[in-house]
Amino acid sequence: MKSLTCKQGFLHRFVDFSESHPDNVAIRNLDADETVTYRALRIRAEECNGLLDGLGISPGVKVALVLPNGVDFIAYYLAIIGRGAIPVILNHKLTAFELSNVLRIAQPVLIVTTDTLCEQHLETLQPFRSLILSTGDEPSAPLPKNAVIASGLPRQALPLSLPEDDAIVSVQFTYRGVGKPLAVTHRYLDLTQSSDGLHEQFHPQGIGSVHLVTLPLYAIFGLSVMMVFPLSIGATLLMTNTLLNRDLAQVLSEHQVTFACLVPDVIRYFNARLVKRKGALLPLHPRLMIYSGGSHLPADEAEKLGKLLGCAPVLQGYGLTESMPVIVQSSVGAVHRGAMGQPISGVELRVVDAHGRDVAAGAIGELWIRGPMVTPGYEDEPQLNAYSFRDGWFHTGDLVWRDDEGHVFFYCQRLRISKIKAQMVDLAEIESIALQHPDAVRAKAYIVPDQKEVNVLHLSVEGNGGLSQNDVSTLLARYLSGFKLPKFIEIVPLKEEIHAR
């Protein structure tokens, strides 16, 4: 793939489409029955830019987005990079403990969030300046002292300043099995090039194509594939946060969706529902592509959804917060059953043994990757960077194998991290919270796949006397998001106490 210039970056392309095809639909929000054209989205982003300007946001400073998927998320994201500021993109479902950890690392000068989320995290947000977007309900509690309500500020649209260099356009957080969140940055042209590399593997998309947005935009997979990609080719984003309450076949058929990404748990859910669906298959777009990401999807589940919908089997991709999507099954080439695919343009990969030597086809080894899509390292983590990033290669920690044609197949994760419901889980973090209980002495979190190859989180805690499963589960729920909570908790009496008896 050729090197890009700034004039080919995704914001430049979006602005071009807002001028050449202003009335084309950029976003159709099913939940709010809202349609936003490319021109209207640009105006909305320019209004957000005006609000940020009024609050004194200058180029190079960090602005945190703590918002659900929706038009506001997209408009403010475009506005932040259109000011030359740096978006810090956070999961809006984090607990107060998790949110305070990432904010302490990121130190944004402003947080953009909703009044509902502000009330939920009132104490956590107090030290920070906040811009509050209304959800329509009156606040039931006082806002933080440094908060301002967007609806009360004067409206002034300011044009977006298009990046003139390879600026940072996202800061996101991940885990590496060290018990704390790690900040990862991505740049303007690299994010664009990743989207272009993916598109080379897809049936051509563009004006008239419809992309079903179901992945969270706070994750790099959602941001790059579900927002940056469609807005840079003039496609329509079909958005909903309530897909699980809808008929998937009806949504795909009614809106003639051409591209959709679903995580494995959602695919399993709809497979179970579609088996019970009565009536004839609904007419789908003839080149509908459904992809899976976020974690490994067994081949039989991929094929099952295709049969139930009457379309091609689900294809897979692979990426990391550290790398953006870098491996994908091609919709225009040969598909190898169960594979994650092959590297996109601009990405190099190796599969190596414990000594860093390349292994033969069919042998299992650790996946190493490099290319412009790979972050240069974690912010302020020199020791971890020296271990994870060497000679330009990122050591993913994922064990894989390749067939004779270079298709990559997932085997397992080597680090003490895992994916639960397509979300990253750091086993060391869970153990550290369990050990906050005064009667807990040792803790061990581990993963056991169930009969459907779904990762199930287990926790064993060794402790004194009256330590109970309820004690541990209550403690974990106070600090951690629901997907990090173990399904099974085992309490083991201290060995010293057993011997004493």
Q: How far apart are CA 292 and CA 314, in angstroms?
A: 7
In this predicted model, what pLDDT tens digit does every residue of 223-263 receive, in sequence order? Answer: 999 999 999 999 999 999 999 999 999 999 999 999 999 99
Largest pairwise CA distance in the chain: 81
Phi-psi map region of 426: left, alpha, beta (phi>0 left; psi -120 to 50 alpha): beta
**How far, in Å, CA of 282 to CA of 373, rounded?**
38
Q: Which of 157-171, 327-341, 359-373 has the lowest mean pLDDT?
A: 327-341
pLDDT at residue 499 in the model? 46
Q: What is the mean pLDDT of the chain?
A: 93
Question: pLDDT tens for residues 260-270?
Answer: 999 999 999 99
**pLDDT at residue 466, rounded to an integer:** 83
pLDDT at res. 464:
87
Which H/E stretch holds residue 98? helix 96-106
The confidence score (pLDDT) of residue 125 equals 93
**101-148 residue pLDDT tens:** 999 999 999 999 999 999 999 999 999 999 999 877 666 667 888 899
pLDDT at 294 over 60: yes
pLDDT for 344-360, tens place per residue?
999 999 999 999 999 99
In eight-state DSSP terms, residue 358 is B
Residues 6+ apart with CB under 8 A from 263: 215, 292, 293, 294, 295, 421, 422
| pLDDT surpassing 90 at residue 295 | no
pLDDT score, position 498 = 45
pLDDT tops 60 at residue 367? yes
pLDDT at 139: 60
Please say if the pLDDT value at position 369 is more than 90.
yes
Contact 476, 433 (CB under 8 A): yes
State yes or no: pLDDT of 482 exceeds 80. Answer: yes
**What span, in angstroms and rounded, lies between the C-alpha atoms of 323 and 343?**
12
State yes or no: pLDDT of 500 exceeds 80. Answer: no
The gap between the terminal CA atoms of the chain, to the nearest Å, is 69
With a pLDDT cut of 70, the percent of the chain lying above it is 97
CA distance 263 to 261: 7
Phi then psi for residue 179, to 5 deg, are: 85, 10
pLDDT tens figures, 211-227: 999 899 999 999 999 99
pLDDT of residue 2: 59
Q: pTM for this structure?
A: 0.94
Domain ranges across the chain = 6-241, 425-500
Average pLDDT over residues 447-474: 91
Give the pLDDT of residue 491: 94
Amino acid 146: pLDDT:
87
Question: Could you tell me which residues are beta bridge partners of residue 112?
Answer: 65, 131
CATH architecture observed for domain 6-241: 3-Layer(aba) Sandwich (3.40)
Where is average pLDDT lowest: 35-49, 130-144, 263-277, 393-407? 130-144
Residue 494 confidence (pLDDT): 83
Task: Tell whether the model's pLDDT for residue 12 goes beyond 80.
Answer: yes
Predicted pLDDT at 496: 58
Is-same-fold flag (6-241; 425-500)? no
d(CA 366, CA 42) in angstroms, rounded, equals 43
Identify the CATH class of 425-500: alpha beta
447, β-bridge pairs: 457
- Of 136-150, 277-291, 409-423, the range with the lowest mean pLDDT is 136-150
Of 286, 289, 313, give the one whose Cα is nearest residue 301.
313
Question: At a CB cut-off of 8 Å and minimum separation 6, what does 213 contact?
Answer: 69, 222, 226, 227, 237, 238, 239, 240
Angstrom distances, CA of residue 294 to CA of 127, 221, 488 = 33, 8, 23
